[in-house]
Amino acid sequence: MTSFDCIRRLRQLLNTKKIGHSGTLDPDVSGVLPICLGTATKLVPFLMASGKVYAGELTVGFATTTEDLSGETIESQPVPAAISDEDVKEAMKQLTGKITQIPPMYSAVKVNGKRLYEYARQNKTVERPKREVTIKSFQLLANHYDPKKKQQVIRFKVECSKGTYIRTLAVALARKLGYPGVMSSLTRLKSGGFELDQTLSLDDVEEAVNNGAILNYVFPITYVLRDYPQLKLNEKQWQAVKNGGWLTTAEVNLNAAQRIVLVYHNQAQAIYERQGKHFKPLKMLLTKTEG
């Protein structure tokens, strides 16, 4: 199932057209996929910017066209002896911090209006744009050598910025160790501030809808924006804000805040950003209020 398949099914279950997700999951990857409904679809960029955490597995000894198990094997090199934990950790250290990645050919990145995987399926190669990403942490969870297959299986956990290709990171780790490699499994543990234990399966959603309990699992917009300082608007400010009016730093009075959430009747109405001596609209939400 693709992320779009998930959205399509949820659109039917929830009977809504305005729905989106905040960060594609490849079909063979499991884990957290935050879903935005209605006005919350405006928050997708903010959710995506919050970074992600994954747990995955790298198999060292062969490589594929897709950098995961869905592709065809293009290179094979037996691992004659176990790779030590120390060597793996040292290689991980070299891939921590700001690194440059080149997206795999089997990815959704667009080049000249066409997605890379479309070129790949036509056996065409194009110059791929480099991107700088941040690997906040890269940890070894388990390290196992298979003497029969002459392969090393490395379990890892990684915290990274948006736009990071974990497949590419896993393959880079194998190369640092001197071998071809492939990402053999991946689970997204955290995305957009949501963790795995907060998630529902599609079956769970269907059951909640049928039981009339689905609203128990829908988070308010303020939850997503909980790390931003909030300003509760008075009536005069609300009249200005709903028409896109600016606020002065003096009336906001939130010290060094660069971005703030404006709240009226307990609903997030806008995200404002500091510019000089004023706060100006960054994202208008204008959720429904009582009265």
Ordered DSSP codes for the chain: --HHHHHHHHHHHHT-S-EEESS---TT-EE---EEEGGGGGGHHHHHTT-EEEEEEEEETEEESSSBTTS-EEEE----SPPPHHHHHHHHHHTSEEEEE---SSS--EETTEEHHHHHHTT---PPPPEEEEEEEEEEEEEEEETTTTEEEEEEEEEE-TT--HHHHHHHHHHHTTS-EEEEEEEEEEETTEEGGG---HHHHHHHHHTT-GGGGPPPHHHHTTTS-EEE--HHHHHHHTTT--EEHHHH--TT-SEEEEEETTEEEEEEEEETTEEEEEEE-------
* Cα diameter, the chain: 74
Q: Alpha-carbon distance 126 to 62, whole Å? A: 24
β-pairing verdict for 267-275 and 278-284: antiparallel
* Active site residues per annotation: 26
β-pairing verdict for 151-160 and 278-284: unpaired
